[in-house]
Structure 1
Amino acid sequence: MNFLAHAYLSFNDPKVLVGNFIGDFVRGKLEEQFETAIVRGILLHREIDAFTDSHPLVKKTQERLKPNFGRYSLVITDMFFDHFLSRNWNDYDERSILEFTGWVYEVIEAHEAILPKKFLAPFTYMKRENWLAAYGTMEGLQRSFTGLSYRTTFHSNMERAPAYLQADYAFYDESFKQFFEELIVFSKEKLAKLQQEYDSL
């Protein structure tokens, strides 16, 4: 669910961005389906997810949420962190959040012919409502969590997540800042390694 983080961590490479965005929606032999740069983006997406899921700060955040949200604590943590990235965007990029998200949507749309069908529906809503920027406001975050709560198989309580964020805002903010600095370094190193591996083939 942390689409904004994946977009940012593509480091302005359009092909890597596409792969990073669709990483959760593709299976099988990637090299037979996509060009090399997009494959790198997909693999980067998976490396980012693995690093995030195993990170102590992320686990600490999830444990704080689990008593109230159970299995959905991971999704909520992702969205909390995208909230802080969007809200504090100017700490990470010279462009405005609206300029950046506009560029993201244009790049993704330009590759519509290769996008997985399961991705197309959520992307339509994402662009229409500009989820990536809206995560930075409590109103936008509330809309997203409320919409997700209607679509979960089990009762998730996710519509209540923004209230928990506000009640412990400083803790989640500090967790994000510490974690994201490490994630940026990890992602740059991993992308460089993937570039070297594919260049040597």
Structure 2
Amino acid sequence: MSIDVQEAIKAIREMLPIIDPEEDYLTIVAAEEKIAASEAKRKKELDEIHGNLKSLTRLLESARVSSTRPTSVPSAEAHASALNELDRNRLALAKAISDAEGLVASREAELTALKEESRRLEQYDPAAEHEKELDGTALRLQLYKGMGFEPIIDKDKNISKMLVRSQSGDIHTVDFTTGKTDLEYTQLLWKLASS
């Protein structure tokens, strides 16, 4: 089925009064203006929606931040742990206070005993004690011998030597006329006694 060219030309000529290029141009311009207006309106709405989305996003973020626990506030587990630690500290302090009170009570008892000893010493009679002490000299000599020390007295009744019996059973002699200090003699005596 081929279209005859002549018929097509005839049909176009018949349509010429119907086709008005100026009217079509105005229709196209109006359509383009409508499309541009619609596009501008859509862009404006899109910008508004985008602005609303940004503001809602900020609002969501601030709500999220306000609903989360601040870093300065400990977590529930950390809070419970801190409370347990404080309880342990409180119990340790209570025990320390109780121990300190016990120590104070014992010190008060010791103070009372020392006051009693002080009172007894204030009532002490040296003359009467000296008489008892004269009898005590023999006792002291006996104690020294029991510890392994036996003094040797010279003709002037001074102790010039000391016989020392060591723990092993050996007997040593310490001469006090060698010019050593009392401390050196004491250290030597104890050294020999413990050998």
TM-score (norm 2): 0.18
TM-score (norm 1): 0.18
Q: Which structure features the higher share of strand residues? A: 2
Point out which structure has higher relative CO (alpha carbons under 8 A, 6+ apart). Answer: 1
Q: Which structure features the higher share of helix residues? A: 1
Larger radius of gyration: 2
